[in-house]
């Protein structure tokens, strides 16, 4: 990406996005911590019968899935915060055009405009 690119948004808009992303970052960090504690508690549980083991395994799988999804989203949020700091938030990583404000309101960590994202998804489906 060219270093001459600058975010298409005013500073006050960027501050609002940064604030929302930091809040999302805190919430995800707490959710990850809760999932880790739940996984540890399930792993550390004492002897049990087959039914308990089955329930615990299902609970562990759900906790691992939640943990993994939250880690992935947290990484995207952190990258969006970095883009705000660097000044290229709201610029598509593929075509270097602006990412629509409506898209960023829905997915503030988006790094592709809707057109490039759709092309990417169609390419991965075929």
Task: Say whether both 46 and 82 belong to one domain.
Answer: yes
Contact 84, 7 (CB under 8 A): yes
Same domain, 81 and 104: no
Residues 96 and 83 in one domain: no
Structure tokens at 69: 């999804």
> Does residue 125 lie in a domain region?
yes
Q: What is the pLDDT of residues 26-75, one digit of tens each?
A: 999 999 999 999 888 877 766 666 666 677 778 888 989 999 999 999 99
Q: Is residue 61 included in any domain, yes or no?
A: yes
> What is the pTM for the complete model shown?
0.80
Distance between CA 5 and CA 2 in Å, rounded?
Answer: 6
The model's pLDDT over 103-114, given as tens digits with 9 standing for 90+, comes to: 999 999 999 999
Domain that holds residue 110: 90-126
Q: 49 with 95, same domain?
A: no
Q: What are the structure tokens assigned to 84, written together? A: 């705000």
Residues facing 98 on adjacent strands: 91
Instruction: Return d(Cα 100, Cα 80) in angstroms, integer.
Output: 15
Kindly state whether residues 83 and 117 are assigned to the same domain. Answer: no
């Amino acid at each position: 990406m060219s270093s001459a690119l600058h975010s298409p948004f005013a500073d006050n808009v960027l501050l609002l996005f940064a604030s929302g992303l930091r809040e999302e970052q805190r919430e995800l960090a707490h959710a990850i911590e809760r999932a880790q504690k739940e996984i540890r508690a399930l792993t550390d549980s004492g002897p049990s019968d087959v039914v308990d083991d089955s329930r615990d395994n299902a609970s562990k799988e759900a906790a691992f899935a939640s943990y993994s999804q939250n880690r992935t989203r947290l990484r995207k949020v952190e990258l969006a915060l970095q883009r705000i700091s660097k000044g290229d938030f709201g610029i598509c990583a593929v075509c270097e055009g602006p990412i629509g404000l409506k898209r960023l309101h829905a997915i503030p960590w988006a790094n592709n405009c809707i057109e490039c994202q759709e092309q990417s998804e169609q390419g991965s489906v075929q």
